[in-house]
Structure 1
Amino acid sequence: MFDKYILVDGSLRSTADGFSFDVMLGYYRGLGLSMIEDLVVSVDGQAVPRDAILFDEGKGPIALCDMEHAYDRRWPFGSKATIMVQCPQPLAAGDHHLSLKEVLRISYLPFPLVAEDSKTLTLAPTLAA
């Protein structure tokens, strides 16, 4: 439904221990974090291990394995969240193909809703200190 808006253009950034990018919810209503079954990330065709992914809807980073018990946290529709990927090798500056699959548990659906987006995002070069 809202798949083409999931990955936020211009949001790819380097971090101290990997990279991050902003995302939107691929569903027309907000969801509690406990209703997000999975977030599957790949960069340049390589799958990112699930335990290397952190999610932050504005209340601080949370590991995917801890989201199923995050009953007090909610991702509102229309708000950006950040996905942080921890990786030993930093991404090089330039274009990178990112893919994200959101697997969402919706109370009135007898199956998980899967929303997906793939885009080429550009990582700006970092300035030397």
Structure 2
Amino acid sequence: MFEKYLVNPTGFRNVEKDGEVIGYEVQLRIPYYRGLAMSCVEVIDLTVDEESVSNQAMLITVKGETFTFAELPTAINHRWEMIETITVFVNQPGGLQAGEHKVHAFVSLRISYLPFNNTGEDEKVLVLEG
């Protein structure tokens, strides 16, 4: 139900450091009706233009704190609330070309009171300004 909001249409941009494009950012919303600790995020699969992004290339920022994907199980005090976005930075020197890009995301969340994971999947065409 909430998965249609997973890929946030705003916040898609290349990231520069010292005048050089070092990667790009995608913003995601939680595909669940409640907020959860980031330690409950078991899977973030991101595909941009049919190319899968490795978890090792991602940095995830929630409420100003940044984690590698491998660090998420330790992020017990950092919550991803329903109305908030997290930012996924993808380390890709040169970033992406300006124009349209197909962004697909899949997220799997561990819910303490459910015998199965809650999952969400969304795909949108986003425009990267040049």
Do both share a fold (TM > 0.5)? yes
Q: Which of 106, 109, 118 is the aligned partner of 1:104?
A: 109
Normalising by the residue count of structure 2, what TM-score does the alignment of the two structures yield? 0.91
> Please, what is the CA RMSD of the aligned residues?
1.0
Superposed displacement of residue 88, structure 1: 2.6
Aligned to 2:63, which of 34, 58, 64?
58
Equivalent position amino acid for 1:123 in 2: L
Q: CA deviation at 1:11?
A: 2.2
One-letter amino acid of the structure 2 residue matched with residue 109 of structure 1: L
Q: When you count strand as a share of all residues, which structure comes out higher? A: 2
Bigger mean CA deviation after superposition, 90-99 or 68-77: 68-77
- After superposition, give the CA deviation of every residue in 1:50-94 in whole Å (9 maximum; x if it has no partner): 100111111321111001011111111111221111113420000
1:5·1:117 contact (CA, 8 Å) conserved in 2?
A: yes
**Residue 7 (structure 1) aligned with residue 12 (structure 2):** no
TM-score (ref. length: structure 1): 0.92
Partner residue in 2 for 1:44? 49
Alpha-carbon distance, 1:10 to partner = 3.1
Task: Name structure 2 gaps, 5 residues minimum.
Answer: 17-21
Percent of paired sites with the same residue? 33
Q: Determine if contact 1:10/1:122 at 8 Å carries over to the other structure.
A: no
**4+ aligned runs moved over 3 Å, structure 1:** none
Match runs of 1:8-87 below 5 Å: 8-16=8-16, 17-87=22-92
Question: Which deviates further from its counterpart, 57-66 or 94-103?
Answer: 57-66
Q: How many residues align?
A: 125
Structure 1 stretches of 5 or more lacking a match?
none
CA distance in structure 2 between the partners assigned to 1:61 and 1:94 by the alignment: 27
d(CA) in 2 for partners of 1:21 and 1:65? 18
Cα distance in 2 between the residues matched to 1:19 and 1:84: 6
